[in-house]
Structure 1
Amino acid sequence: MPKTSFPRRTSLFAAILLAAPLALLGANTPVPPTGAPAGNAPADQALIDKAKVSTLPNAPTTDQVTAAKLVYGLLSDSRYAYRPRPLDDALSADMYERYLESLDGSKQFFTAQDVAKFDAYKLKLDDAIKAGRLDPAYAIFSTYRQRVEDRVAFARKLLKQDIFAFEGEDRFDYDREDAAWATDRAALDALWTQSVRNDWLRLKLAGKQPDEIRKTLDKRYATLARGISELKGEDVFQAFVNAYANAIDPHTDYFTPRSADNFNLSMSLSLEGIGAVLQRQDDVVAIREIVPGGPASNSGKVKPGDRVVAVGQGESGQMEDVIGWRIDDVVAKIRGAKGTKVRLDVVPAEAGLDSKPVRVTLVRDKVRLEDQAAKSKVITIPAGASGASEQRIGVIELPGFYQDFEGRRLNKGDYASATRDVAKLLEELRAKNVDGVVLDLRNNGGGSLNEAIELTGLFIDRGPVVQVRESGGRVSVEGDQDPGVKWEGPLAVLINRGSASASEIFAGAIQDYGRGLVIGETSFGKGTVQNLYDLDRWPSAEKARFGQVKFTIAQFFRVNGGSTQHKGVVPDIAFPASVDASEFGESTYENALPWTRIASVPHARYGDFASLVPKLDALHDTRIAQDKEFQWWTEDVAEFRKQNAEKSVSLNEDERRAERDRDEAKRKQRQAERRELGLALDPLGDDNLDDGLQANERDLREDVAREKAAEDRPDPLLRESAAILADAIRLLRNDQRLSAEVLPGADQPGRWAH
């Protein structure tokens, strides 16, 4: 049972309604990029309105009854769960609120009258889980589906009315998380009228004409209804059981067999398939990206923008029309074992959807997801005015603590491992004679606990890394047992509020050992460990039937005895906070474990940066006062937080246009200043202006190119982190007394020797 540590995931229905419809063939659906695509949409409105309406069962399947009982048995047993809660009326009421939130968290579909009727189930959901009955879940969901259809019909009808004059002081309240339920249909009508008007205004400000706006929004709302109509019984079951799981703690989740496969594949960074990222556009699934080195790439027969309209298995299996299918159903047809064949009927990107498709046969293979693996580069810090020499700082970007659990269990030599990848990159950076290394863990949400421990071992010579307290109170100490280090030189760790869990274990250990500087923002604050338990382990089964549960089994503590729970890892050198702790992080979960501490354990202390940090802070403050990119980032963070606090937006066209003009002028001014100062230009230019479009409404190929360009945008935080590390190296090399105070013990591997 692999131990993992992740922040809470987006609820099922929130993901369906809000996320870009992407899927990797053979892997987990990736995190949607900023913005989202669309491309070649079918021109026939009948196709847009077409939906594969799923028929919800009147009773759960036998497997679902068993799965619900197994989840209850697991989460209510103190031998397994770290903090079990009795499944009683109090927990039932909590489940009830969470299930409603998973369906209608923004309170834009249900009325107070609907919720009053649902209240009859409020204290009965505990009995439903114990008995495996899904009647309440389906009854509530059935109403939800009808309300979505009603709201969409209302929105589409509004598009034919004359309500799009944008004067006066009207505002659209888009943040309704804490709002009361709408009293009745009339109240919802008023809310949706403002929402539709805001959608129209955004497109108008982006230069769209009325006919184009009307067509875009009509398609958008029809797509919303279709997405809900396609949900199946297993989706409702997963959401319902997750209302129970999330009530236990924020990081406990239930996965159906299919979603469990996706989760495991996302951890392994490898898959068996054709190596392509799919994206749904209206009623068709298109290829968004091709994974280099995979079968699709090697064939040269498919490209981004192509649409898959039919799939067949092997040399002669029947071709199945997949137009109108859910993206995960299409992925399931294309995914398959290494060495097997799959045939695709593909309509080229440049052709109309009614064009004759091209048949492509591909042999599935194992594909490594290199774009999600660790990467490195070198930043050069120029010589200073004081005569300081130029320094080369290596950077390793680690997006997650991934590990192919199955590959490791089978002792496969090429299994994916964050630690193994970082070790190779360190060797490469050493060969390039870098002066120091920055490990970038920004937005690294965690992953394998073992990887966090082993990665720490690349920088320390044996010793404890983390303390783990289990449900019975027993505390074990886990650490690095391998002698030697892969990098003994200067080290910094860059974190932000999105750095969570395994990232916090690593950053905390580096800080406790005095092995390196921690730079950035206070981290997420997740101090718990989860196990992924396969429910098919209990009843003997030939195939996956019951799914898996990721549940909290322990709490971890730093070697100094402190917990990262709620408080996170506090950096030595702090950057301005990009988000408030009340908006994002462990502290936002009302049922998260409280902060506590235990006894420390003996560990080496390679350095003490207390006397060095004030000097670094002073140099940092002086430098950023002259650093335009850093100043602009600080300004943008302040503006984002200001806008985020408002929770509403004006519907006055003149006011909104003035805001847009200011944003455009600001971007142009910054580009001009970059040219004047000789700075790298922002590759996105003015592309950051709001175009009013949603996930599947942009040209797919252009959006992919835009996403790639965004990777080359100036990163003042990373560059400043490298400069801070360069400052530390220079100060310690030039001041023997300071060096002896900060890094005592010249023979220790943490001496920053080089």
Structure 2
Amino acid sequence: MKLKTPLLALLLAAPLALLARPDGTVTTIPNAPTKDQATAAKLVYGLLSDSRYAYRPRELDDALSADIYKRYLDALDPNKQFFTAQDIAKFDVYRTKLDDAIKSGDLSPAYAVFAAYRQQALARTQYARELLKQDIFDFTGNESFRYDREDVPWAADAAALDTLWKQSVRNDWLRLKLAGKQPDDIRKTLDKRYANLAQNIGELKGEDVFQSFLNSYANAVDPHTDYFTPRSADNFNLSMSNTLEGIGAVLQKQDDVVAIREIVAGGPASKTGKVKPGDRVIAVGQGASGAMEDVVGWRIDDVVAKIRGTKGTTVRLDIVPAESPLDSHPVRVNIVRDRVRLEDQAAKAETIDVPALDGKPAQKIGVIKLPAFYQDFDARRRGDRDFASATRDVAKLLQTLREQKVDGVVLDLRNNGGGSLDEAIELTGLFIDQGPVVQVRESGGRVTVNGDDDQQIAWEGPLAVLINRGSASASEIFAGAIQDYGRGLVIGETTFGKGTVQTLLDLDRWPANETARFGQVKLTVQQFFRVSGSSTQHKGVVPDIAFPASVDASEFGESTYDNALPWARIAAVPHTTYGDFSPILPTLVRKHEQRITGDREFGWWTEDVEQFRKERAEKAISLNEAQRRAERDREEAKRKQRQLARQQMGLALDPLADDNDDGLQANERDIAKDAQRAKLAEKRPDPLLREAATILGDAVALLNADRQLSAKVLPTARNPGHWAD
């Protein structure tokens, strides 16, 4: 769709830009922020430019404005599929004016660009729907579709975008065709997909514009500084606390309705016995007799806001069962809200049996998987005795593993992106007597040493920490402390490399508002250093025993940010060195390398990583059906061969071995089945975890067999022979 009037001229001339939604209604897009948002922008400027708050403040000038401008465009159109070079040329008038806009609170340039984005996006989704009516689905040529366009120039004009979208639609069609779908079904599925995309775009609000733009400013100052609207701040705090007050259900948008994806065991919804995965919520009422509000067509966050509420209050839901047509008579369910622990993100324990080998006895290794360093700060401040805490949960699990008489413990921190700094310190304290854990430097240069003052140890025995590139922040503090103390082996990949500390600042604290109006800023205020004096910034924590890298440092990690803080070092602080594993590392590495040479599952994982990295580097996919079908057949045959090999070797089977690409998106699948599939994915064979447990078992066996070596490796442990108990 091409406008006869220049887009920006139209937007700036009218107080409101009107856009038609797919259902024919009209929504309005404001061309300026609200009064509260204008005030919030000024408050954010005050924080980010003031060294009393920001660790590395930046002056808001024309240079920073140009950076904000680029980041804002990247946030709106990261894959360059909506804007053209012609659009960008029109926007360039704002390149060096965004600094003045933020200082004054007049963010009309940001709203103008956003309105143009929304106009273009809606036009593009309509174009995609029109393509479904055309005869463009021949897949015998040599054409390809470049799906990663982050580093390519903006499309020259609308015709170039037409070509890109035609390739994208043809790729969507081909995926469904390869999955066995017939043309009529494919056309119906894709038409609904593009209509839903248009609806999601049409539902964007002024607060979405504001948050996206202010985040572009915050991220230009520091990659880990963010702005949250009041609602998104609540969601962030819930994720950090691992608890919420509500009904205990995971919700998902599907077409025009919000459906129940999962029920939290033991939560309020579960206790009713009247709701299940796949059921759809069509109306919500507050209290025992409040009016029922029809929520069909609502944004999911708006529905969630209606369902959540204070513990002890009642919410009523009108639910259409999963097996019934949407226009069926609903079932009304009364649910009393309660405080709910998000168990999927809580620490969990299991054991791995390491078989006897090469004279080494059979061993039982405990594993604790910790997805995040969570803490319910509000509950702790209130004095709740059972507040959610990663450290408290891990301590309980360690006691259970002790009772099971495990020979060692692996703490799995893979893909743990961090969380509470206090939790990282307290968790370290479960494994050491007492002492410093992390050094924290403020913007003025003052260094504070934070440590564990409690002499209690929850686990004295053999310990390993499993990390990967997704282990960041608090995970790096913990892994680095365990390594510096010589308290355990660190195994896996070099970590993310995030060595900064953020805090949440409530923008309502200065005007002392009684209700949330201005949002919050997650602000970088400190840099942390290991007790050895080294920062994890950029360099991360390097494991004692390395596994092949699953992702390149140039693609993921702190080093990919163009404005990240540099690596630094400060003076070390005195601390106990429990052990020095260097005398046994060569033996452990040799045993590990010999073992994985014949380990089929570890070899398969390595092959898959290499294939993934190769495909990622190509950034494009063929639109030739014969070639794609051959690739699909090879993948299917490979999975079947591996499953057969697992059967023959007596290994655990892969529950997703028959899981072919169905060409669908998450909201297009049967919700209950898709949730079940996600649960099965957690049970897939994990050769890296098994190998980490085996490496720890090797270390235990080495030290158990040689008390002199044990005393050398663990010279100052509370019990030098504790690894051999």
- TM-score, with normalisation over the residues of structure 1? 0.92
* Residue 373 in structure 1 maps to residue 307 in structure 2: no
Label 1:233 to 1:565 Cα distance change in 2 as closer, same or farther (>3 A): same
What is the CA-CA distance between 1:58 and the residue it aligns to?
A: 3.3
CA distance in 2, matches of 1:750, 1:95: 57
* Residue 717 in structure 1 maps to residue 688 in structure 2: yes
State the match for 2:413 in structure 1.
441
Q: Alignment partner of 2:276: what SS? A: coil
Alignment match of 2:89 (pick from 116, 122, 133): 116
Q: Alignment partner of 1:752: what SS? A: helix
CA distance in 1, matches of 2:228, 2:512: 19
User: After superposition, what is the alpha-carbon deviation per residue over 1:145-164, rounded to whole angstroms, capped at 9, x for unaligned?
Assistant: 11011111111111111111
What does residue range 96-495 of structure 1 map to in structure 2 within 5 Å? 96-384=69-357, 386-495=358-467
Q: Alignment partner of 1:65: what SS? A: helix
Q: Alignment partner of 1:439: what SS? A: strand
CA distance in 2, matches of 1:672, 1:90: 60
- The letter of the residue matching 2:657 is G
1:607 touches 1:750 (CA, 8 Å); kept in 2?
no
2:578 touches 2:717 (CA, 8 Å); kept in 1?
no
What is the CA-CA distance between 1:740 and the residue it aligns to?
A: 2.4
What is the CA-CA distance between 1:746 and the residue it aligns to?
A: 5.7
State the match for 1:525 in structure 2.
497
For structure 2, which runs of at least 5 residues remain unmatched after alignment? 1-20
Q: Alignment partner of 1:272: what SS? A: strand
2:243 touches 2:340 (CA, 8 Å); kept in 1?
yes
State the match for 1:683 in structure 2.
655
CA distance in 1, matches of 2:625, 2:297: 37
CA distance in 2, matches of 1:57, 1:181: 27
The alignment covers a number of residue pairs equal to: 705
* Residue 695 in structure 1 maps to residue 654 in structure 2: no
State the match for 1:45 in structure 2.
none
- Work out which structure has the larger RCO, using CA pairs closer than 8 Å and 6 or more positions apart in sequence: 1
CA distance in 2, matches of 1:412, 1:750: 39
User: After superposition, what is the alpha-carbon deviation per residue over 1:305-345, rounded to whole angstroms, capped at 9, x for unaligned?
Assistant: 00000111111111111000000000111111111111111
What is the CA-CA distance between 1:181 and the residue it aligns to?
A: 0.4
State the match for 1:83 in structure 2.
56
1:199 touches 1:692 (CA, 8 Å); kept in 2?
yes
CA distance in 2, matches of 1:383, 1:753: 16
State the match for 1:7 in structure 2.
none
Q: Alignment partner of 1:55: what SS? A: strand
State the match for 2:554 in structure 1.
582
Label 1:178 to 1:746 Cα distance change in 2 as closer, same or farther (>3 A): closer
State the match for 2:515 in structure 1.
543
State the match for 1:564 in structure 2.
536
What is the CA-CA distance between 1:270 and the residue it aligns to?
A: 1.1
Q: Alignment partner of 1:486: what SS? A: coil
What is the CA-CA distance between 1:547 and the residue it aligns to?
A: 0.5
User: After superposition, what is the alpha-carbon deviation per residue over 1:273-315, rounded to whole angstroms, capped at 9, x for unaligned?
Assistant: 1110110000000000001111100000111100000111111
Label 1:52 to 1:542 Cα distance change in 2 as closer, same or farther (>3 A): farther
User: After superposition, what is the alpha-carbon deviation per residue over 1:597-616, rounded to whole angstroms, capped at 9, x for unaligned?
Assistant: 11111111111111111100
CA distance in 2, matches of 1:726, 1:98: 48
What is the CA-CA distance between 1:743 and the residue it aligns to?
A: 1.3
CA distance in 1, matches of 2:297, 2:280: 12
Q: Alignment partner of 1:447: what SS? A: coil
- The letter of the residue matching 1:183 is A
CA distance in 2, matches of 1:743, 1:419: 25
1:52 touches 1:325 (CA, 8 Å); kept in 2?
no
* Residue 56 in structure 1 maps to residue 56 in structure 2: no
Among the aligned pairs, what percent are the same residue? 75
What is the CA-CA distance between 1:168 and the residue it aligns to?
A: 2.1
- TM-score, with normalisation over the residues of structure 2? 0.96
Q: Alignment partner of 2:28: what SS? A: coil
Q: Alignment partner of 1:176: what SS? A: coil
CA distance in 1, matches of 2:531, 2:79: 41
Greater shift, 477-486 or 435-444, is seen at: 477-486
CA distance in 2, matches of 1:744, 1:614: 19
What is the CA-CA distance between 1:215 and the residue it aligns to?
A: 0.7
CA distance in 1, matches of 2:418, 2:492: 17
- The letter of the residue matching 1:567 is K
CA distance in 2, matches of 1:576, 1:191: 36
CA distance in 2, matches of 1:723, 1:408: 38
* Residue 742 in structure 1 maps to residue 720 in structure 2: no
User: After superposition, what is the alpha-carbon deviation per residue over 1:484-533, rounded to whole angstroms, capped at 9, x for unaligned?
Assistant: 31111100000000000000000000000100000000000000000100
State the match for 1:40 in structure 2.
none
Q: Alignment partner of 1:324: what SS? A: coil
What is the CA-CA distance between 1:712 and the residue it aligns to?
A: 1.0
CA distance in 2, matches of 1:611, 1:207: 57
Q: Alignment partner of 1:56: what SS? A: strand
Alignment match of 2:675 (pick from 704, 713, 733): 704
- The letter of the residue matching 1:440 is D
Label 1:530 to 1:696 Cα distance change in 2 as closer, same or farther (>3 A): same
State the match for 1:16 in structure 2.
none
State the match for 1:29 in structure 2.
none
CA distance in 2, matches of 1:88, 1:252: 18
1:53 touches 1:230 (CA, 8 Å); kept in 2?
no
State the match for 2:4 in structure 1.
none
Greater shift, 71-80 or 54-63, is seen at: 54-63
Greater shift, 509-518 or 402-411, is seen at: 402-411
